[in-house]
Amino acid sequence: MDLPISEDRLRADIEATAEFGAIDAPEGRGRTVLTGTDADRAAREYLVERLDDAGLDTRIDAVGNIAGRWTPASADPEAPAVASGSHLDSVIEGGIFDGPLGTYAALEAVRAMQAARVSPDRPIEAVCFTEEEGGRFGEGLTGSAVAAGAESIEETLALTDNEGTTLDAALEGIGYRGEGRLAASDWDSWLEVHIEQGTRLESAGEQAGIVTTITGITHCTATITGETDHAGSTPMSARTDALTAAKEVIGATERAGRQAAGLDPEIGAGEDSPNGDGGRDTDETAVATVGEIDARPNATNVVPGAVELGIDVRDVEHGTMNRIVEEVKATLARIETERGVEASFERPFDVTPTPMAKRCREASRRAAEDAGIEASAMHSDAAHDTMYVARETDAGMLFAPSQGGYSHSPREWTDWTDCAATTRVLAGALADLAGA
């Protein structure tokens, strides 16, 4: 089914949303929309107005998740709905497509079905989750975690920002502290449109991607403690330098990531490599990054006495992630012996890779074929709300091309024709899943 998506209407909604929290940027168009701010209130109010204009029944749950429900005469009002959506919040100085494209693609898909007089058997919901980016409260994916039952309403509302303001107070302050819980388990299925945040679609010249798996993500903290000493009067032979010890952990993290991606098969490769010959063939899906370094006391004339490293590991195979983490831990144990430092390790955040449901992928493929749109199968390198939704119902994702791969930046850009093309695939897939 190829439905009449209005590129102009979709563009108008995204551009209107781009004005909320708009920032001056030397290149591109940027915005900062943090949960519970005036910009967030304005973005939410605009969305609710558009949902109302389309005749959807709108509700807001206790953590601010928004859902607009379309129940045409053809649909059984008691049947589990097919849902779609994304988020409206942004990172600090982010772009205009990450989140809003998926939110308004869902609404535009419903409007297209209405215009075409499509008669689905199930209701369809357009959804906006709270605090996906984690720019102000928590690690992110906040609203979807509650919707999936992974986090409680009470614990989530008690989250605080850097100034001690609770999410509860922030939502109450903008009038979006609703009641109850939007439950992903109530949905028959779910699809999310998002920008790719990479260059695979652009390189292939394709307008849509069908996600097969969302990468797993683990965040680790490695702490190395040595001895703080005078940089001038402490001989090199008498130092227990935490920072020079930490550089070995940084190097080990990179080497483990490159090996897992198949770039350095000779480093540590062995019989337990996935392809059995000492190498890997993961298509470079594994990545490992030391993105945060806190060296103390951080003074030029002082030998560093303590270093804390923030480590990010991702892959579509959880076993690969675990192997990278184990290599980091082994390096920490080694430097304790060889360098006389003390080391500790924590892994506070670990989300396993999430495969997308076969029937959602197939519905997306059929919709792309009906619309004459080339759509490659691909994995997602970044986390999305769909990761949590997929725990409770059949879920899928569609990607739109990202020009230059830029994301979380004012340079983030997706051509309007590509936005509309991916939304056409979404609309056809939603209609398919809803029994139209």
Coil, strand, or helix at residue 369? helix
Q: How does residue 265 score in pLDDT terms, banded at 50, 70 and 90?
A: low
The number of folded domains in the chain is 2
Residue 157 lies in a domain: yes
Percentage of the chain surpassing pLDDT 90?
92
* Distant-in-sequence contacts of 52-57, Cβ < 8 A, 24+ apart: 54/107, 54/110, 54/111, 54/114, 55/114, 56/107, 56/110, 56/126
pLDDT of residue 276: 33
Domain check: are 43 and 140 in the same one?
Answer: yes
Domain check: are 187 and 323 in the same one?
Answer: no
Domain check: are 259 and 323 in the same one?
Answer: yes
Strand pairing report for 81-87 and 306-315: unpaired
Strand pairing report for 208-214 and 354-355: antiparallel
Rounded Cα gap, residues 419 and 130, in angstroms: 22
Domain check: are 243 and 357 in the same one?
Answer: no
Domain check: are 171 and 256 in the same one?
Answer: no
Report the b/e string of 12-27 with b at 16+ CB within 10 A: ebbebbbebbbeeeee
Q: 117 versus 436: which is more confidently predicted?
A: 117
Domain check: are 276 and 248 in the same one?
Answer: yes
Domain check: are 171 and 39 in the same one?
Answer: yes
Place of tokens 């053809």: 74
Residue 387 lies in a domain: yes
Q: pLDDT tens digit string along 52-76?
A: 999 999 999 999 999 999 999 999 9
Task: Supply the range of the domain harboring residue 409.
Answer: 7-214+353-433
Domain check: are 195 and 253 in the same one?
Answer: no
Q: pLDDT tens digit string along 317-349?
A: 999 999 999 999 999 999 999 999 999 999 998
* Whether the predicted pLDDT of 269 surpasses 60: no
Rg (C-alpha) for the chain, rounded Å, is 24
Q: Sort residue 387 into left (φ over 0), alpha (ψ -120 to 50) or beta.
A: alpha
The domain boundary residue, chosen from 319, 351, 383: 351
Domain check: are 107 and 202 in the same one?
Answer: yes
Percentage of the chain surpassing pLDDT 70?
96
Phi first, then psi: give them for residue 345, nearest 5 degrees. Answer: -145, 135
Rounded Cα gap, residues 371 and 6, in angstroms: 14
Domain check: are 347 and 357 in the same one?
Answer: no
* Whether the predicted pLDDT of 277 surpasses 80: no
Question: pTM of the full predicted structure?
Answer: 0.88
Q: pLDDT tens digit string along 24-55?
A: 999 999 999 999 999 999 999 999 999 999 99
Residue 1 lies in a domain: no
pLDDT of residue 283: 52
Domain check: are 23 and 150 in the same one?
Answer: yes
Please report the beta strands in 316-388, taking only residues with DSSP state E, as ranges in sequence order. Answer: 342-351, 354-355, 375-380
Domain check: are 178 and 229 in the same one?
Answer: no
Average pLDDT for 73-99: 98
